[in-house]
Homo-oligomer: A and B are copies of this chain.
Amino acid sequence: MVHVGHIDMPRQSSIHNLYLRINLRTKSIKKEELDEIVVRNYLGSKGIASYILFKELRAGVDPLSSENKLLFLTGALTGTNAPTGNRFSVCAKSPLTNAWCDSHCGGSWGPELKFAGYDGIIVEDKSPEPVYINISDDKVEILGAGNIWGANTFSTHMILKDKHFNRRMPRVACIGPAGERGALLAAIISEGRAAGRGGMGAVMGSKNLKAIVVTGNKYRPDDLVSDPEGFRNAVKSCYGKLLEGKWTSLSPPGRMPLYGTVGIVRDINAAGGWPTRNFQTGTFEHFSELMGETFAENLWVPRKAPGPRPCYHCPILCAHVSIVREGKYLGLYDEGPEYETVWAFGAQCGVFEREAIAKAEYLCDYYGLDTISVGNTIGFLMECYEKGLITNDETEGLSLKFGDAEAMVAAVEYAGRGHGIIGKLISNGVKRAAAYIGKGSEKFAMHVKGLEVPAYDPRAAQGMGLGYAVGDRGACHLHAWTAGEEMLQPPSLDPRKTEKKAGFVKTLVEETNVAWDSAGVCRVLGYTLNIEDILELVNTATGFNYNLDEFQKIGERINNLTRAFNCREGFSRRDDTLPERLLMEPLPDGPCKGEVVKLNEMLEEYYELCGWDSIGRPTKEKLRDLELDFVIPQLYTG
């Protein structure tokens, strides 16, 4: 542990190695470096988090207790001029799943933290009273948040930016009222983006931490790389490819610049894997109302100033802004909605009114909630309501039928406020809702390990099914996004086949861990770039000079460490499963009609390829091979 004053020299190699450790109870603020070997072996962000949380948390810790730790970490490329070098992760044990959680966010907060001189923040313990953290280069303060506790996230951003601007615009990451009260679906909102999944907002709330504000005047992007010339060449090469990419090109614009992530609605629905009305079907008859093309024509503002705020150093520009110019939601202006949100409040709820979807997203942002999980849970409750499993008393009188856009919006508002039984059920997620309702509803409660299933029906993409089942944070679409090959039209892999999917998933998981989530760049790059492109950026930025095998091995190491984290918490093969609907009810429509997820055959093969035993636990051999010897005593007795 070292205390470092103002550094005028650009850092040399192993640049990403200064962390703030902030104890909210004792108010101690320390600056510390990690061993260089740890940085080399885990790279950044999710990787570093897996190391810290495995080492520092005891098994069985209550995620909402003072013992949990909340990590805000940047990746190796965050803050550099690398394309999409903007992401940060928020990691902790999740109160939603009681498992590992890494939640990622773009925008501008992560780079600002790097410019202030820090690679990450380890937040420990719990403040007795509401506080926020203000970081301005060497100055790090814990300040009283009594005056903003209770405020929506838009106001919180505004007031903190006004308060702390200092030559640069302060960047804010904060929670809203949902996180403050510990709602399990609470997100952390930052500059029009969210670290949405897994209830990281609830952990932040449990620590009485309202926000972290950052301004960084210490470093410029060039200071953050060890081989500036090599890095510039690598960046240039990436830009060249991105501008040529079918999806990512700016000129002529590909579907990402044109339609953002919503650009894939058309293909996913055509693949028969756009989960509709709580996964009762895989195609939505109104999908064309929700395609990127339709949003671009009817709700989004054109891409010109002043308008969408792209993430820092993004050459793809998938960000869009919705504006509602008439009707009930007049005056609404919000970033998004993204693909997952459009699905969650759209097809999942049988709703096709774009303005209502934008309003639902706005409310999630306002109160600080995860749109995916909220929409998933509302769809579940709509099915329960239509089946007579919940009463009007429990819905506060809402007629919660599929397709009722106004009821959907009201339900989101109740979720934000935690109002009534309905508000509490929604804001704590589908697993708890099903446990409350019972009566067989668990069979169509769409979650894995407690995390709500997102916007791809795995019966129309077997690989996605395996990815959901083995996801370290639960049903995550990003854990192994096979949809690119299985669902984008025309698919390059047969979505109905299970052959070779295990290997493909393993590769994706490991590459995801290292190349995107620990490097700190955006997954959308993956439409055009591959792991070797990222490796070149990482090597010139860090000076680590990994070869491809070493680099991929970092991804495997992280996957084994988060798996070990979950094993230590008691997770095992029985948890690597899917909701009964996906395993037992054949898809009733679309090109994959008749399919269920054939999980077991893929799972066996996946475990074997991973070097995990029959209950899904990494073998000692595998752990040793990955330099994870320290894990062994925690998973094996004797």
Contacts and interface: CB of A to CB of B under 8 A. Distances in A.
Interface string A166-183: 011100000011000000
Contact of A147 (B143, B323, B366): B323
Given A154-B154, A333-B155, A367-B331, A163 B305 contact: yes
A29 interface: no
A280 B159 CA distance: 40
Nearest to A151: B333
Nearest to A143: B305
Contact of A150 (B151, B324, B334): B324
A306 B159 contact: yes
A333 B306 CA distance: 25
B330 A417 contact: yes
A333 B156 contact: yes
A161 interface: yes
B306 A160 contact: yes
B150 A309 contact: no
Q: Which of A151, A169, A176, A334: most chain B Cβ within 10 A? A: A151
Interface string A363-398: 000110000000000000000000000000000000
Given A148-B333, A155-B333, A417 B328 contact: yes
A147 B416 contact: no
Given A162-B169, A331-B177, A366-B331, A146 B304 contact: yes
Contact of A165 (B149, B164, B169, B302): B169
A159 B417 contact: no
Contacts of A243: none
A301 interface: yes
Interface residues of A, number: 50
A207 interface: no
A152 interface: yes
Nearest to A176: B331
A34 interface: no
Contacts of A152: 331-333
Nearest to A324: B150
A548 interface: no
A297 to B, nearest CB: 14
A325 interface: yes
A162 B165 CA distance: 11
A331 B150 contact: yes
Contacts of A584: none
B163 A416 contact: no
Given A162-B169, A331-B176, A367-B331, A307 B147 contact: yes
A163 B331 contact: no
A321 interface: yes
Contacts of A301: 146-148
A216 to B, nearest CB: 14
A321 B152 CA distance: 13
Given A151-B323, A154-B154, A323-B151, A144 B331 contact: no
Contacts of A167: 167
A158 interface: yes
Given A147-B301, A147-B321, A167-B167, 7 more contacts: A143-B306, A146-B301, A147-B307, A159-B309, A161-B161, A327-B417, A331-B416
Interface of A: 132, 143-152, 154-165, 167-169, 176-177, 301-302, 304-307, 309, 321, 323-325, 327-328, 330-334, 366-367, 416-417
15 contacts: A147-B301, A148-B307, A149-B323, A158-B158, A159-B309, A159-B333, A161-B161, A161-B169, A163-B305, A164-B306, A165-B165, A169-B169, A327-B417, A328-B417, A331-B417
